[in-house]
Chain A
C-alpha cells in the first residue's frame, strides 16, 4: 500500500531536537506516538500538521494538545473550519460523545466538554490524515475507554497519528505504535508487539510491559466480559457486545507464575503453559509463557528462584480478572 505520508523530519533545523528519518504512515494506518513528556511527540505532530517547520506534508485534520475554545457558543466553536456537511457530521459525533447543549458559552465548558467539542470538530473534517495530540487528556478516567472507542470508529478508513502516554488509550486507538525518546523513534511495530517485547530497557521503562489479546467478546457475567483469543479465554472488566471483536489488555506485572499443578482458587484467568523465554529487564525478569498464546509476565528474581524458570518448564499462569481491561471494537 502506498504511504499517505512519508518524510524526513529534523526540527529545529539547526539543533535537532526531533529527528526522524523516513517517517511513514500507510493508508488507513492508526499510529500511536508513545513516550514520556518532552520526548518530542507533540513537536513531531506539529511538523506533520504543517504548523512548524515547512515540510511538504499532506493536508491533515489536527487536534492540538490544548484545544482552544473561542468566544461564542459551543455550537459556534464546533463549526469552525467545517463545511456544511462537516457541521452535520460534527453534531452527530458530538452527540455520540455526550455533548448535547451546544448553546452554552464555550468558555463555560469544563475541560472534558471542551475536549469533546474539539474531538467532534476534528473528526468531522474531510482530510485523509488525522493528527490527534493527547485527545483524551482532559476526559474523565471512567469515560476514556468509551470516548477512545468512538474516536476509533470515526477514524475508520483514515490514516491517523495519535499522541498519548496512556497504555490503555494506545491499545484502543492504535494498530501500530512508535515509541519516542529524546526526539527519536526508538521502536515501531504493532501495538501488542511493542508492549510485549520492548527492544530495550529504556523502552520497557516507558511503555511498561503489557499483554494485548485480540479476539471476540464471548460471554458477559455481571461486570465481567470474556474475550476468546484463539483457544484462550480471558476474563476482564469492561463492556463489549458479545460476538463483536474485542481486546483484552493487562500489564505484565499483573501476571503471577505458579508451579505446575497449583490450585489457583478464584482466579478465572489461569492457564497452564510452558516457559518459552526469560530475559533480564533491569532488576526484573521478563518471562514469556506459551499458553497457546504468548503471555508476558514481569517477576522479581526472587520469585524466579522459587520456581523452575528454565525454558520448556511447565507452569501455571494466573491473572485476576479485575486487572484485565476489555474494550470492544477492532
Chain B
C-alpha cells in the first residue's frame, strides 16, 4: 500500500507542478489531434453509416461484417500499414508527413471511421419499419432522407460519436508508430504515459492518466447532456 500511496502522491504533486512544463503542449496536441480525427471520422462515417443503414443491396451483410471487423481493427496493425504507406519510398512517402501530427490524425481517423460507420448503421437499421416506410413515402433527396433518419436516432448517433472519440483519445499503438512520440512535437497523453512508465516515473505517468481521464469525462459528459436534453423530443 505504501508504494501505491507514494505513486499517488507523486502524481498529485506532478499535477500541481504542471508536469514539468510538458503538460500544456501534450494536452494541447492530444486535444486537437483527437478532435480533428473524431471530426473526420464523423464527417465520413455518419453519412456512410446512414447510407448503409437505409439501403438494401446485395452484399449488405458482407459489408456489415467488414465494417464490424474494422471496428475491432488492432491499432498497431493500422499504425504499421500507415507507416508503410507514408514511409519514404512508399506510395505516399512524398507527402512527408510521417512522424508529424498529420500522420497521427490519419491513423486515428482510420481507427475511428469504422466505429462511426458501424454504430450509425446499426442505429439507423434499428428504426421501426413504420418510420422507414414513412421516410420512403416522403420521397426526399438521399441527403435529406439521411438527415431526417440521423435526427430521428440522434442519441444513438451521439453514442457513435462518443465511441469514436473514446477510441481516438485512448489509442496508443498507432500514434506511437506513425508519430514517434517525439517530445514537444508528437507526444500525446497516451504515448507520454508509455514513456514515463518505461522510465519508472509512475507518478508522472499516473498524472498524465488523470488528465486523459478528465478529458474523456468532459467530452462524454457534453455528449450525454445533449442526448438527454433531446431525448424528450
A80 touches B130 (CB 8 A): no
Q: B131, A59: Cβ atoms under 8 Å?
A: no
Instruction: Indicate if the CB atoms of B139 and A81 lie closer than 8 Å.
Output: yes
**B233: CB under 8 A from chain A?**
yes
Question: B137 near A64 (CB under 8 angstroms)?
Answer: yes
**Does B131 contact A68, Cβ atoms closer than 8 Å?**
yes
Quick one: CB contact mask for A35-77 with B, threshold 8 Å, 1 for yes? 0000000000010010100000001001111111011100000
* In the complex, B3 has a CB within 8 A of chain A: no
Complex CA–CA separation, A118 to B140 (angstroms): 16
User: Would you call A51 and B137 a contact (CB within 8 A)?
Assistant: yes
For B128, what are the chain A residues with a Cβ–Cβ distance below 8 Å? 68
Residue interface mask B112-135, A partner, CB < 8 A = 1: 000000000000000010110111
Identify the closest chain A residue to B134 (Cβ): A68
Cβ A80 vs Cβ B140 within 8 A: yes
B9 at the interface (CB under 8 A from A): no
**B69 CB, nearest partner CB in chain A, Å:** 31
Report Cα–Cα, A24/B134, bound state, in Å.
25
Of B73-81, B147-155, B216-224, the segment with at least 4 beta carbons within 8 Å of chain A is B147-155
Q: Identify the interface centre among A46, A63, A80, A107: most chain B CB within 10 Å of its CB.
A: A80
Query: Is B138 close to A, CB under 8 A?
Result: yes
- A82 closest partner in B (C-beta): B138
- How big is the B interface, by class? 10 to 19
A68's partner among B130, B140, B154 (CB-CB below 8 A) is: B130
- State whether A70 and B151 are in contact (beta carbons under 8 Å apart), knowing that A81-B140, A105-B233, A107-B233 are contacts in the complex: yes
Q: How does the 8 Å CB contact mask read for B206-233 relative to A, with 1 for contact and 0 for none? A: 0000000000000000000000001011
Nearest CB on B from A63, distance (A): 7
CA distance A51 to B137 in the complex (A): 8
**B233 near A62: Cβ-Cβ < 8 Å:** no
* Complex contact B133–A51 (CB within 8 A): yes
B134 touches A64 (CB 8 A): yes
Question: How many residues of chain A are within 8 Å of chain B by beta carbon?
Answer: 20
CB distance from A14 to the nearest CB of B (A): 17
The answer to whether B133 touches A64 (Cβ under 8 A) is: yes
Chain A residue nearest to B231 in the complex (CB):
A71
Alpha-carbon distance between A72 and B137 when the two chains are bound, in angstroms: 18
Cβ of B66 < 8 Å from any Cβ of A?
A: no
Q: Is the interface of B mostly helix, strand, loop or mixed?
A: helix
In the assembled complex, the Cα of A107 lies from the Cα of B230 at a distance in Å of 12
Closest to A46 in B: B133
Number of A-B contacts (CB under 8 A): 46
CB pair A71–B152 under 8 Å, yes or no, is yes
Give A80 to B136 CA distance when docked, in angstroms: 11
Instruction: Looking at the assembled complex, report how far the CB atom of A188 sits from the nearest CB atom of chain B, in whole angstroms.
Output: 25
Check B137 against A62 for contact (C-beta < 8 Å). Answer: yes
B133 and A71 contact, CB distance less than 8 A: no
Residue of B nearest to A63 (CB): B137
User: What's the least CB distance linking A67 to chain B, in Å?
Assistant: 6
Cα A31 to Cα B230 in complex, Å, equals 42
Assembled-state Cα–Cα distance A232/B193 (Å): 95
* Smallest CB separation, A41 vs chain B (Å): 15
Known: A51-B136, A64-B137, A80-B138. A71 touches B151 (CB 8 A): yes
**1/0 contact trace for A184-200 toward B, CB 8 Å?**
00000000000000000
Inter-chain contact A67/B233, CB cutoff 8 Å? no
Contacts A70-B131, A71-B233, A72-B233 given; does A49 touch B152 at CB 8 Å: no
Which of A63, A71, A80 lies in contact with B154, CB distance below 8 A? A71
* Cα–Cα distance between A63 and B232 once the two chains are bound (Å): 26
Q: Tell me which residues across on chain A come within 8 A of B140, comparing CB atoms.
A: 80-81
User: B131, B137, B138, B232: which has the most chain A beta carbons within 10 Å?
Assistant: B137
A90 to B139, CA, bound (A): 16
B151 touches A81 (CB 8 A): no
B149 to A, closest residue via Cβ:
A70
Q: Which residues of B contact A62 (CB under 8 A)?
A: 137
Across the interface, A81 reaches (CB within 8 A) one of B138, B230, B233, namely B138
The 4 closest A-B pairs by CB, nearest first: A81-B138, A68-B134, A66-B130, A62-B137
Known: A63-B137, A71-B233. 12 other contacts (CB 8 A): A51-B133, A64-B130, A64-B133, A64-B134, A68-B128, A70-B148, A70-B151, A71-B151, A71-B152, A72-B151, A80-B138, A122-B137
* 18 cross-chain CB contacts under 8 A: A49-B137, A51-B136, A51-B137, A62-B137, A64-B130, A67-B130, A68-B130, A68-B133, A68-B134, A70-B131, A70-B152, A71-B154, A72-B233, A80-B148, A81-B138, A105-B232, A105-B233, A122-B137
Binding site for A on B (CB under 8 A): 128, 130-131, 133-140, 148, 151-152, 154, 230, 232-233
